[in-house]
Amino acid sequence: MPQSEAVESRVLLKRLRDTLAEAGDGQERLNRITALVASSLVAEVCSIYLQTEADTLELCATTGLRQSAVHRTRMRLRQGLVGRIADTASPVATDDAQHTRGYEYFPETGEEVFASFLGVPIQRLGEVLGVLVIQNQNPRTYTDDEVHGLEVVAMVIAEMTELGAFTGTAPTDPPARHQGAFMTRGVIGQEGVAAGTVLLHDPRIVITNPVADDPVNEQARLDAALEALRGEVDAMLHSDDLADAGEHRDVLNAWRMFAHDKGWVRRMKASIDAGLAAEVAVEREQTETRARMSRVADVYLRERLHDLDDLSNRLLRLLTGISAVDQKDVPEDAVLVARNIGPGELLDYGRRLQGVVLEEGSVGSHAAIVARALAIPLVIQAEHVIREAANGDAILVDGDQAIVHLRPEENVAGAFRAKIDMAAQAQEAYAGIRDLPTQTVDGVELTLLMNAGLMADLPSLRPSGAQGVGLYRTELAFLVRRTVPKRRDLVALYSRILDSAGDKPVTFRTLDIGSDKVLPYMRRPEEPNPALGWRAIRVGLDRPGIMRMQLQALLRAANGRPLRIMFPFVAQFDEFRDGHEMVHAEVERERRLGHMVPEYVQIGAMLETPSLAFAPDQFFEMADFISIGGNDLKQFFFAADRENELVRRRYDTLNTSFLSFIQQISERCEDLGTPISFCGEDAGRPVEALAFAAMGLRCLSMRPASIGPVKRLLRAVDLSAARGAIDDARANGDQSVRAALVRWLTQVEAPIN
Ligand code: PEP
Ligand code: MG
C-alpha cells in the first residue's frame, strides 16, 4: 500500500476505534461505522451484513440503502453477491453489479441505482462472520489498494464482533455468539457419556485493541516476537532429544523455513502499516492460510499449511503473552475441546478429563487411541464446535451417539442426567457381580481380561473385575514420545506394570507400528496401502534393533517372574518361528550376561490375517497361545478399511461368514490344544461377546469398562440355547445372525443394554 494510502487507512482505523469507544448500544455502533466508512471511502452506501444464524446473512446496518430494510433483508450463504462473498471468503469488486455473476436484486433496499459494488468478508481465523459492502452510483473501478483498505476495516469489525461490541441492548441486535444452546453431531471416537465444563485446548486469543496506536512500536513488537520465535524453533531443532528424529524434524525444519519467510513477514508488516495491531496482522495471515487450507486437496501441502498455522499460533502467544492451557488450571469436570490434539498433549491432561471433543481427528488417530485407552468419551469431527464453544460453557458429550450439546436447555440437560444416572446404576450392578465367576446359566465358565496400553490403565484391573491383561499394546508408550524410548525406561515401565498386576497375568504385545500407528521419529517408506504394508512383526523382523531392545526390556522387567509375549500381525508360520527364535536368543543372552531370566516365557501370536487360520498344524503346536485381533481380522476378511467411515460399518461382526470363520479357528485351536482368546473391540460388546462364546471361545479381552456389561449378559444366558438361536439363523440363510440373536435375547429377557 503506498504511504499516503497507508496514512489514510491508519486515520480511518483510529476514527473507527474512537467511534466504537463512544457510548451507545450495538446497533448505534454499527450505524456509526457505516457512516464513517462511507464518508471516508467516498461511497454513497456502506452496509454491514452479519451471519445471524447458520447459513443466513442479515443486513444489520446501512448508510445509503433504505433503513426499513435493516434486519429485514436476509439472504442465504451463496445467495446474491453478498452471499457469494461469505461463501467463498473472497472479495467481489465490480463497476456493473447488475451484470455480475450471482447478482440478486433485493427490492426493499432500493439498491438498483448503485452500479458499483465492493464487498469483502468480515472474517476471523478462517471463519466468516459477515460481509462489509460499499456501493457507488456511478461506475467506479475499485483499486486493489481500496480492496485491501476495506479488508483492513473488516478485520477490525471482525475483532469487535468477537468482543461482542455489536450485541447487547437493542431487541434487534444480532444474537451473540457463545449464547444459546448449540448442538453438533460428529463421529464416535469412544463410547460413554460425560457432562462438564468446556476447556479449550487452544484458548481463543481476545484482542482488545485491534488498531495500532503507534505503528513503529507495533513493528518493533512483531520483530521482537519473530526473533523469539526463531530462537525457540532453533532451540527445538538443536535439542538432543531430536538427534535422529524423522518426521518431527521435518516439521521443525518447515517451521524454521516459515519463520524466516520474507513474504510472510512483509505481509504482516504491511498490515501494521495500514493501522492494524501486530496481533491482528498475524491473524490476518492466519485467516488467509486457513482459507487456503480449505481449498487445497494435496495432503502434503495441507500438512505444511497446518505447520504454518501452528507457527502463527506460537507467534500470537509470544505477542500476547498468553500461554497454552496451564495444566494446573484444568477444572475438575473439564471436557477438552480442540481442533485436533497430539497423543502426548492428551496424556498430559490424562484422567482429569471427563470427555474430549475434536473438530477434526480420525477414528484411528493417536489421540483417539489414547482417549480409548483412558476410557474417556470422545466425539471426533464435531462441526463448528471450536467456533461455538467458550471456556467455562456447560457441555454434554454423548459418545454413544456422537452428539455434543453446548449450553444445553434444561430439558436436554435433564434427559442427559437421567442417562448418566442409568449408566451409574448399571456400574453399581456390575460392581455387585465383580467377584463372581463369569459362568453361563448352563455352567460354561469364561475368562474376561482387559486390554491396556498405558500405565494409567492398570488401576482399572481390580475394580473392573478383569482376570488379567489380555492385550497390552506396547506401542502407545512409543507413540506418545518424540524419540525412541531408552531400554532402561522400558524396563522401569514394564516392571511397574507387572508389579501393579501382581499375580494376574499380563500379555505384552510387541511393537505394533505401521498402518494407523506411525511413530513420529521413524522415517517410513511411502506406502500406497499402509494397512497391508510394512507393519508390526514385519518391521520387527526386518529391523530387529528395536524389537530386540524391547524383548530385553521385557525379560529384565520380569525379573524372574513368568512372562507372556505376543507378536502382532503374524501372517505365516515362518514369521512366528523367527520371532520365537529371537525371544529365545535374547533369553540366552540375558542368561550369559548374568541377568535373572523369567521362570518361563510363553510366546503367542495374534491372528489378524485370515492366512494364519490356515497355517500348518506345527504353528498351532508351537504357539503357547493365540489371540484373535478382530479389528484387523475383520477388515481383511471383508476387505473393508477399519478407518474408512464409508465402509467400516458396512459388514456386521455377526455376519454369518465371519462368525463361522471364528468358529473354525476356535475348533482348530481346540483340536490342537492351543489356548485361544479374542481381543479386538468387538469382544467388549455384550451381544458380540455372547456370539463368540457360542462359537466356542472361552477367553475374551476388552476395555475395562466393557467387562461389567459383558459379564452381566453372559451370566444371564444359557449358552447352548444362544448357540441354537445362532444356528437356526445360519440355517435360515440369514446374512447376519444379529436380528435373530437379539430377538431371542429379548424373549428370554436377557440384559443386553
Ligand atoms: C486388533 O486388530 O483387533 C487388535 C486388537 O489390534 P489393534 O486394534 O491394536 O490393531
Ligand atoms: Mg491389530
Q: Which of 247-251, 533-537, 590-594 has the lowest mean pLDDT?
A: 247-251
Closest CA to 524 of 533, 370, 532, 641: 533
> For ligand 1, what atom is nearest to the CA of residue 681?
3
Are 645 and 734 members of one domain? yes
The amino acid sitting at 102 is: G
Contact in structure between 676 and 668 (CB atoms under 8 Å): no
CATH number at residue 348: 3.50.30.10
Q: pLDDT digit string (tens) for 548-579?
A: 999 999 999 999 999 999 999 999 999 999 99
Decide if pLDDT at 347 tops 70: yes
Contact in structure between 183 and 401 (CB atoms under 8 Å): no
Say yes or no: CB of residue 512 within 6 Å of ligand 1: yes
Are 144 and 188 members of one domain? no
In this prediction, what percent of the chain has a pLDDT beyond 70?
92
> Dihedral (C-alpha) 34, 37, 42, 44: value to the nearest 10 degrees?
-10
Are 501 and 638 members of one domain? yes
309 Cβ partners below 8 Å, 6+ apart? 286, 289, 290, 293
User: In a mutational test of the pocket of ligand 1, which residue from 515, 658, 679, 700 has the highest number of ligand atoms less than 8 Å from its CB?
Assistant: 679
Distance from the alpha carbon of residue 488 to the mean position of ligand 2, in angstroms: 27
Decide if pLDDT at 382 tops 50: yes
Model pLDDT, residue 159: 85
Domain stops at, among 393, 410, 427: 410
Say yes or no: CB of residue 608 within 6 Å of ligand 1: yes
Are 491 and 558 members of one domain? yes
Contact in structure between 187 and 381 (CB atoms under 8 Å): yes
* Domain membership of residue 237 as a residue range: 215-320
> For ligand 1, what atom is nearest to the CA of residue 568?
6
Are 297 and 355 members of one domain? no
Contact in structure between 384 and 184 (CB atoms under 8 Å): yes
> For ligand 1, what atom is nearest to the CA of residue 516?
10
Q: Give dist(CA 597, CA 404) in Å, integer.
A: 51
Model pLDDT, residue 444: 98
Say yes or no: CB of residue 475 within 6 Å of ligand 1: no
Are 186 and 41 members of one domain? no
Say yes or no: CB of residue 473 within 6 Å of ligand 1: yes
Which letter does DSSP use for residue 340 in this model? -
Total domains in the chain come to 4
Q: pLDDT digit string (tens) for 310-331?
A: 788 889 888 888 766 665 678 8
633 falls within a domain:
yes
Are 102 and 15 members of one domain? yes
183 CB burial (10 A radius; 0-12, 13-18, 19+): middle
Are 347 and 303 members of one domain? no
112 falls within a domain:
yes
Give 716-719's long-range contacts (Cβ < 8 A, gap of 24+): 716/441, 716/750, 716/751, 717/440, 717/441, 717/690, 717/745, 717/748, 717/750, 718/440, 718/441, 718/442, 718/748, 719/440, 719/441, 719/442, 719/444, 719/690, 719/693, 719/694
Q: Give dist(CA 163, CA 166) in Å, integer.
A: 8
Domain stops at, among 410, 431, 450: 410
Winning range, highest mean pLDDT, from 160-169, 204-213, 271-280, 606-615:
606-615
208 falls within a domain:
no
Say yes or no: CB of residue 629 within 6 Å of ligand 1: yes
Ligand showing the shortest atom-to-Cα distance for residue 569: 2
Which letter does DSSP use for residue 246 in this model? S
483 Cβ partners below 8 Å, 6+ apart? 241, 242, 243, 245, 521
540 Cβ partners below 8 Å, 6+ apart? 510, 511, 546, 547, 567, 579
pLDDT band at 627 (very low <50, low <70, confident <90, very high): very high
753 falls within a domain:
no
Residues with CB under 5 A from ligand 2 (ion): 608, 629, 632
Model pLDDT, residue 303: 67
Q: pLDDT digit string (tens) for 429-451?
A: 898 999 999 999 999 999 999 99
CATH number at residue 288: 1.10.274.10
The residue nearest atom 6 of ligand 1, judged by CA position, is 629
Q: pLDDT digit string (tens) for 8-61?
A: 888 888 888 888 777 778 888 899 999 999 999 999 999 999 987 778 999 999
More confident residue, 52 or 682: 682
User: What DSSP element (H or E) covers 634?
Assistant: helix 630-637
Q: What average pLDDT does range 367-393 have in this prediction?
A: 85
Q: pLDDT digit string (tens) for 175-210?
A: 455 678 899 999 888 888 999 999 988 766 778 788
Cell of 144: 486493489
618 falls within a domain:
yes
Q: What average pLDDT does range 330-355 have in this prediction?
A: 82
Are 619 and 690 members of one domain? yes
299 falls within a domain:
yes
Q: Give dist(CA 364, CA 632) in Å, integer.
A: 12
> 133 by DSSP, 3-state: which?
strand
> Order of strands, edge to edge, in the sheet holding 92-94?
74-76, 56-63, 45-53, 127-136, 116-124, 92-94
Q: Give dist(CA 450, CA 1) in Å, integer.
A: 64
Give the predicted TM-score (pTM) of the model: 0.68
Triad 207, 208, 210: Cα angle to 5°: 70
- State the residue for C-alpha cell 497355517: 615
Distance from the alpha carbon of residue 454 to the mean position of ligand 1, in angstroms: 15
Q: pLDDT digit string (tens) for 455-490?
A: 878 888 998 999 999 999 998 888 766 678 889 999
The residue nearest atom 9 of ligand 1, judged by CA position, is 473
Q: Which of 196-210, 392-406, 503-517 has the lowest mean pLDDT?
A: 196-210
458 falls within a domain:
yes
Q: Whole-number mean pLDDT of the chain? A: 88
User: What DSSP element (H or E) covers 381?
Assistant: none
Q: pLDDT digit string (tens) for 122-176?
A: 998 778 889 999 999 998 999 988 898 899 899 988 888 877 777 654 433 444 5
Q: What average pLDDT does range 78-106 have in this prediction?
A: 91
Decide if pLDDT at 379 tops 90: yes
433 falls within a domain:
no
Model pLDDT, residue 439: 98
Q: Which of 52-56, 606-610, 661-665 has the lowest mean pLDDT?
A: 52-56
Are 251 and 106 members of one domain? no
CATH number at residue 469: 3.20.20.60
Are 531 and 659 members of one domain? yes
CATH number at residue 158: 3.30.450.40
More confident residue, 372 or 151: 151
Model pLDDT, residue 125: 77
Alpha carbon distances (Å) from 673 to 102, 515, 581, 620, 670: 73, 32, 21, 8, 5
Say yes or no: CB of residue 632 within 6 Å of ligand 1: yes
Decide if pLDDT at 400 tops 80: yes
Per-residue burial over 593-604, b if 16 or more Cβ lie within 10 Å, else e, is: eeeebbeebbbb
Are 242 and 198 members of one domain? no
Cell of 570: 503374524
Q: What average pLDDT does range 594-610 have in this prediction?
A: 97
